Structures are given as C-alpha cells and as structure tokens.
Copies of this chain bind each other. A is one copy, B any other.
Amino acid sequence: MTKTGNRSSSAVEDYLERIQELIETKGYARVVDIAGSLGISQASVTNMVKRLDAEGFVRHEKYRGLVLTEEGESIAKAIGKRHRILTDFLNLLGVASAEVERDVEGMEHHLSADSLEAIESLCRELSSNPELLLRIKRSERESK
C-alpha cells in the first residue's frame, strides 16, 4: 500500500504550490524566483528545497534546476485547488481582494476534502443565484 496519510506542513504546501505555478507560467522555478515570489530569503528557499528533495517532493541538482515529482505535483495540484475554491468563495461574498488573499493563504491548509466539496457546491449554487448574493450583502451592511 502507498503511504497516503502524511499531511504536509503549511510551509511545504506553500512552497509546492508556488513551485508548480512558476513552472506552469514560466516553464521553470529557480530558487531566486521562489524566494521573490514567497517573500523569503534565497537561503531559506535553498534549505527547504533540500528538504523537499529529501522527502521526495522535488528532484533537485545542486546549482541546477528543480522539478516536481509525481507526489509533489499531486500535493501542489490539491493545494492549488483548495486555494482557488476558497478564493472563489470569498470573492462571491464580496470580501475585499487584499483580505481574500491573506485569508485564503492561511485557511487553505486547514480544509478537509469534505469541507472543500461542500464549499464548492455552495459556490455553484451562489453563482447561479444573484438575488441570494444580494440578500446576503444587504444583510451584511445592515449588521454593521
């Protein structure tokens, strides 16, 4: 049986998610890019990359490039999906962009598959129901 229960830390998830995005958009993910993009020092990124390699999430040749393994990519995709669904959700509710960004970046690491699916369905419903969204936003303005 494949070991499947190993939850990754928030930091590991953030790194993998960002590495995947960089590869997707630029074709590669250098230490310097990851560092800039996460707002972290290059030294810290080098350390983490070493760890991600040791744990089998990336393959890394010193002073050379960086590639996601199957497992690393699968985690990256999963966290990316959680990120998108939560972003979608808070955007639908009309939360301001800067706050959506911060909230999602934290919450995405604490969502079970069930909660994720429930919120996904909720978003589908909300999207196709603009009057409902209006009622919610009105109710928000009243309560403050």
Contact = CB atoms under 8 A, between A and B. Distances in A.
Query: How would you classify the secondary structure of chain A's contact residues: helix, strand, loop or mixed?
Result: helix
A121 interface: yes
Q: Classify chain A's interface size.
A: 35 or more
A106 B9 CA distance: 12
19 contacts: A90-B115, A93-B115, A93-B119, A93-B121, A93-B122, A95-B112, A96-B114, A99-B112, A99-B115, A100-B115, A103-B110, A105-B110, A106-B110, A110-B110, A118-B140, A121-B139, A122-B136, A125-B132, A125-B136
Interface of A: 90, 93-96, 99-100, 102-103, 105-107, 109-112, 114-115, 117-122, 124-125, 129, 132, 135-137, 139-140, 143-144
